[in-house]
Amino acid sequence: MSLLHLDSSANRSGESISRELTARYAERWRTAHPTAPYRYRDLAADPVPPVGTGYCTLGRRVERHGGVPLSRVGALAADADERCEWELSRPLIDELLAADTVLIGAPMYNLSVPVALKAWIDRVTFPGAYLDPDTGAPLLRDTRVVVLGARGGAYGPGTPQEGNDFHTPYLRAYFVRQGVAPEHLRFVHAELALADLAPALARFRPQAARSLAAARTATDAAATWRDSAAGGDVTDSSATGGVNVPARAR
DSSP assignment of 105-141, as one string? E---BTTB--HHHHHHHHHH--TTTTB-TTT--BTTT
- In this prediction, residue 232 carries a pLDDT of 55
List per-residue pLDDT tens for the chain, 250 residues long: 999 999 999 999 999 999 999 999 999 999 999 999 999 999 999 999 999 999 999 999 999 998 899 999 999 999 999 999 999 999 999 999 999 999 999 999 999 999 999 999 999 999 999 999 999 999 999 999 999 999 999 999 999 999 999 999 999 999 999 999 999 999 999 999 999 999 999 999 999 999 999 999 999 999 987 654 444 565 543 333 333 344 444 4
**pLDDT score, position 226:** 66
pLDDT at 225: 77
Q: CA 68, 69, 73: angle at the middle one, nearest 5? A: 70
Binding-site residue ranges for FMN: 9, 16-18, 108-111
Instruction: Give the strands of the sheet with 144-150, arranged side by side.
Output: 38-42, 3-7, 101-105, 144-150, 185-190, 234-235
For 87, half-sphere exposure in the C-beta direction (CA atoms, 13 angstrom radius) is 6
**Domains, the chain, ordered by start:** 3-235 (3.40.50.360)
The binding site consists of 9, 16-18, 108-111
